[in-house]
Amino acid sequence: MLPDGTTHIDGEDDIVYVRKQVRDLASGIGFNLTDVTRIITAASELARNIYRYAGKGRMKYAVLHQRGAVGIELEFQDEGPGIADIPQAMEPGYTTSRGLGLGLPGSKRMMDEFHVWSEVGKGTIVTIRKWKRNN
């Protein structure tokens, strides 16, 4: 089916590119319009976090097949400063950059699965998954 792959995030233009790529991927899998929009929005937030807080990083994407279900997995990886207090970063409104503080908690709400790994000085990996509803 669709190939798995990696997209580099180096600048603002890459955020637009990530959105386009995620749209093609998610609609190709057959997600409904609202879910496609949710996945694009989450990807946009997480790609922006990489650009803003780590400078650069990448998005890995994969199509999942599990017990007859089809899904999408996006992994946002960077080698930036990391997040010292993950629960705090997950609080709606918490920001260290005069943002809205909605990127992480909002992405979590929009996805079926959401996981953050981070170590100060090493980097951050945010993994999101969404499964296609079969109706």
Partner 1 sequence: MLDSNVSVLKLRGILFVTVPAEPGDDLINHLQQKILESMEQHEAKGLILDISTVSALDSFFARTIVETAQMVGLMGGRTVISGMRPEVAITATQLGLSLGNILTALNMDRALDMLEGLEEEEWDR
Ligand X SMILES: Nc1ncnc2c1ncn2[C@@H]1O[C@H](COP(=O)(O)OP(=O)(O)O)[C@@H](O)[C@H]1O
Binding site for partner 1 (CB under 8 A): 12-13, 15-16, 19-20, 23, 33-34, 36-38, 40-41, 44-45, 48, 92, 99-100, 102-103, 105-107, 109-110
Return the number of the residue (29 or 77) whose C-beta is nearest Mg ion: 77
- Write the single-letter amino acid at 70: V
When asked if residue 17 is in the footprint of ligand X (CB under 6 A), the reply is no
Tell me, by CB under 6 A, how many residues bind ligand X.
23
Residue 134 CB, shortest distance to ligand X, in Å, is: 31
State the minimum distance, in angstroms, from the CB of residue 38 to Mg ion: 16
Least separation in angstroms between residue 121's CB and partner 1 is 26
34 binds, among ligand X, partner 1, Mg ion, none (CB under 5 to 8 A by kind): partner 1
Q: Are strands 57-66 and 69-78 parallel, antiparallel or unpaired?
A: antiparallel
**Is 80 a binder of ligand X (CB under 6 A)?**
yes
Does 107 help bind Mg ion (rule: CB under 5 A)?
A: no
18 and 59 Cβ atoms separated by less than 8 Å:
yes
Interface residue list for Mg ion (CB under 5 A): 49, 103
